[in-house]
Amino acid sequence: MVTIQDIAEKLNISKGTVSKALNGAPDVSENLRKSILETAVEMGYSRTKHKRDAKRLCVFIENMSCREPNDFGYDIIVGFRKMAEPSGYVVEVVPLDAKMQKQTPYDEYMLQHNYAGALLLGLSLSDLWLRQLQTAHTPAVLLDNYIRANPYTCYMGVDNAEGMDLAVAHLRSLGHRRIGYLSGGLGSYVNQSRYTAFFHALRKNDLPDDPHLAGSDYFFSECLQKHLPALLQQKVTAIICSHDLLAHTVMLHCLERGIRIPQDLSIIGFDDLPLCAYTIPPMTTIRQDRTQLGKSGFYALSSLMDGVSISTLLLHAQLTVRQSTAAPGETTQK
Amino acid sequence: MVTIQDIAEKLNISKGTVSKALNGAPDVSENLRKSILETAVEMGYSRTKHKRDAKRLCVFIENMSCREPNDFGYDIIVGFRKMAEPSGYVVEVVPLDAKMQKQTPYDEYMLQHNYAGALLLGLSLSDLWLRQLQTAHTPAVLLDNYIRANPYTCYMGVDNAEGMDLAVAHLRSLGHRRIGYLSGGLGSYVNQSRYTAFFHALRKNDLPDDPHLAGSDYFFSECLQKHLPALLQQKVTAIICSHDLLAHTVMLHCLERGIRIPQDLSIIGFDDLPLCAYTIPPMTTIRQDRTQLGKSGFYALSSLMDGVSISTLLLHAQLTVRQSTAAPGETTQK
């Protein structure tokens, strides 16, 4: 275990100076502080290993809102706090952006701000910190991002395979045989994972897994103008979408074109956002319980901080059946 | 939430009688007790929901030894106790067999013995309780067994995909291009999962995923006499085995036939049993930390008992490199 003493010896300075720098004391020059932090990170020094300092946790959030009760991140953070605060942790929520990631490496940021561990929400595959997390030393739980072979990181999310399986099995039991899939851009881990899970679910439910049954694009417009018509041409009678907002857009688009949901086309979303109860018709979707996601995030993080290196923690998915799915009727494509 | 009152009303008997039956009082007839337990289970009554009773946990163990420090189950149970007992739980270890499963359904057994939750080690896919667990109400964490869509069950184990990926990447970095796989019988979830993970790892590491590169059988003798020669004929220069004991048997068999490990053939096991350090040569293997598995089992179970329905909890796999792997030399097949 690397101590403050080790860092002091390496830099040939006093232990007091190292301690001051790590605790942000004003009488250490900015250059010296930076060099001490970098050395500490290089040597694998981390707050977690020094329990008496370690009562501060950080939730980093990017590409996601969390201010209002309806926002996707809101309940996750509430769930996380519900577990962390009674255990004596202070939780701070910090919005993350590319500039900040470029400015300060992850481990250094955590040391600098005296955080024992982090929950990271909404990072995309191109994020700089995601690369750094492959070798980071400060415990990190990532929603919907998987880091291979780093014992200090854990992937947390809903069981996408189970969710897709429930959705496909539900449609199959209603009588659907040709089921399509529309997805957001495949530049995110969660979209990749759900895409794979969809085809896996088709095979598991003895349905043909023709690659033409899926289309994906970062832009909704492309999904609507290119992939949706292609799926209808393939004579699908139901479409599962990678997330609720895309499903909702598809429903509105169909409404405009006289394609009746669910008589002509069944639609299933993913996430069960609050809006799903209020779409026309109310949307059948795969539920991920956001408060439970937050609580699990704390379970996983405490486990990493205790040296139990969890790689993956998934929540059970649930199917919420509303009115956007029914037995296939006659398709009235126009 | 189902209460004792509800059960009493359903059966039209007094609350006191139900309570006595659930607590095993001697003045309730065996027939009445059985009928009360069955009704309680049917209605979804479970101890977990009544926290004041709920300080007993059970570890069921089957097809696995746990008496000696070298046994696979030993450290798992130690790890589980290390977490559970300081939290105020009494942990009991109960050997499980087919007769017992036939005699008493899982939920009923748990109620009868006043257990709030269970860790189940070593169950095979044909076990009766495994089927019952699909609809069980009493929290259960299963080592290496996955139950779909039951919020009261969690699959716990090592990250097999990560482990296989580390093994294949290690062999590839040594220069191996044709890698074979030998597996125990595919009647267990863990063997199925590692089998799939092997081919996934080949593709991920840009190696051909010819199905002839794998062979599996419940019996070691079949693996040695049929599949091992077939793999050598395929000119593999390395073999990964689904578990250490199989790898060890392959090593002994090769030794007898003058196939040198690792000069002629590299071997990788899975599990890192204590014996791996003492094989000739010492075995390279994928490590699953058994104490951490036990600790994770308790994390998962507390989470289920708190109503946070974790579906899957995986531990990071680690590669332990010893002397049974090296760069491929000239194969001296006989």
Note whether B307 and B137 are within 8 A (CB).
no
pLDDT at B222 over 70: yes
SS3 A26: coil
- pLDDT score for A334: 36
Residue B66 has pLDDT above 90, yes or no: no
Query: Residue B334's pLDDT is what?
Result: 37
CA distance readout (Å), B333 to A139, A156, B236, B246: 48, 47, 11, 20
CA-to-CA distance for B129 and B132, rounded, in angstroms?
5
pLDDT at position B47 over 80: no
Task: Please say if the pLDDT value at position B35 is more than 90.
Answer: no
Of A254 and B71, more confident: A254
Q: Is the dihedral of CA A93, A95, A99, A102 positive or negative?
A: positive
Torsion on CA atoms A197, B285, A137, B301, rounded to nearest 10: 60
ipTM for the complex? 0.76
CB B251 within 8 A of CB B265: no
User: A205-211 long-range contacts, Cβ below 8 Å, gap at least 24?
Assistant: A205/A165, A205/A168, A205/A169, A205/A172, A207/A168, A207/A172, A207/A177, A207/A178, A207/A179, A208/A178, A210/A234
Which residues are registered as beta bridge partners of B215? B182
Measure CB to CB from residue B159 to each of A166, A311, A316 and give the nearest one.
A311
H/E element holding A111? helix A106-112
pLDDT (0 to 100) of residue B108: 93
For A299, name the nearest residue in chain B, comparing CA atoms only. Answer: B299
The span from the CA of B216 to the CA of B331, in Å, is 23
Q: How far is A152 from chain B (nearest CA, A)?
A: 9
* Position A330 pLDDT exceeds 70: no
In the numeric block, which tokens belong to residue B247?
Answer: 């790898």
Joined tokens for residue A253: 């688009």
Closest in B149, B314, B317 to A316, CB measured: B149
Strand-pairing partners, residue B181, are B214, B240
Q: Which residue has the higher pLDDT, A193 or A64?
A: A193
Q: Identify which of A148, A307, A315 has the shortest CB distance to residue B311.
A: A315
The answer to whether residue A333 scores a pLDDT higher than 60 is no
Query: Could you tell me the pLDDT band of residue B187, with boundaries at 50, 70 and 90?
Result: confident
pLDDT tier for residue A62 given thresholds of 50, 70 and 90:
very high
- Measured distance CA(B257)–CA(B24) in Å, rounded: 61
- CA B327 to chain CA centroid, Å, is 33
Using 50, 70 and 90 to split pLDDT, how confident is the model at B105? very high
Residue A54 confidence (pLDDT):
55
Question: Does residue B148 surpass a pLDDT of 60?
Answer: yes
Is pLDDT larger for residue B39 or for residue B283?
B283
pLDDT digits (tens, 9 = 90+) for B237-257: 999 999 999 999 999 999 999
A266-271 and A238-241 beta bridge pairing: parallel
Residue B2 has pLDDT above 90, yes or no: no
Please report the pLDDT score of residue B70 as a whole number.
Answer: 75
Q: Give which of A82, A311, A319 to mutate to test B binding, by max B Cβ within 10 Å.
A: A311
CB atoms within 10 A of CB A160: 26
DSSP strands (E only) in A117-198: 117-121, 140-143, 153-158, 179-183
Task: Name the pTM for this structure.
Answer: 0.81
Sorting pLDDT into bands at 50, 70 and 90, what band is A276?
A: very high
- Please report residues of A whose CB lies closer than 8 A to that of B313: 310, 312-314
| Contact in structure between B138 and B157 (CB atoms under 8 Å) | no
SS3 assignment, position A66: coil
Q: Which residues touch B53 (CB under 8 Å, ≥6 apart)? A: B47, B114, B116
Number of residues in chain A? 334
The reported pLDDT for the residue numbered A48 is 54
Residues of A in contact with B151 (CB under 8 A): 316, 318
Cis peptide before B262 (omega within 30 of 0): yes
DSSP A247: H
What distance in Å separates residue A9's CA from the closest CA in chain B? 32
CB distance B308–A314 less than 8 Å? no
Q: What is the mean predicted confidence (pLDDT) over B192-221? A: 94
Which range (A100-114, A240-254, A260-274, B31-45) has the least confidence? B31-45
How high is the pLDDT of residue A40?
83
Give the confidence band of B100 by pLDDT, cuts at 50, 70, 90: very high
Q: Which two tokens stand for residue A332?
A: 């009235």
Reported as a pLDDT band with limits 50, 70 and 90, residue A29 is confident
Q: What is the pLDDT of residues A129-165, one digit of tens each?
A: 999 999 999 999 999 999 998 999 999 999 999 999 9
* Mutate which: A87, A133, A148, A286, vs B, most B CBs within 10 A: A148
Q: Which residue of B has its CA nearest to A295?
A: B308
Q: Which of A28-32, A307-311, B60-64 has the lowest mean pLDDT?
A: A28-32
What pLDDT shows up at residue A331? Answer: 43
Is B333's pLDDT higher than 50? Answer: no
Condensed to tens digits (0 to 9), the pLDDT of residues B10-24 reads 888 988 888 888 877
**pLDDT confidence bin for A65, thresholds 50/70/90:** confident
- 3-state SS, chain B, equals CCCHHHHHHHHCCCHHHHHHHHCCCCCCCHHHHHHHHHHHHHCCCCHHHCHHHCCEEEEEECCCCCCCCCCHHHHHHHHHHHHHCCCCCEEEEEECCHHHHHHCCHHHHHHHCCCCEEEEECCCCCCHHHHHCCCCCCCEEEECCCCCCCCCEEEEEECHHHHHHHHHHHHHHHCCCCEEEEECCCCCHHHHHHHHHHHHHHHHCCCCCCHHHEEECCCHHHHHHHHHHHHHHCCCCEEEECCHHHHHHHHHHHHHCCCCCCCCCEEEEEECCHHHHHCCCCCEEEECCHHHHHHHHHHHHHHHHCCCCEEEEEECCEEECCCCCCCCCCCCCC
| pLDDT score for B90 | 94
Averaged pLDDT score across all residues of chain B: 91
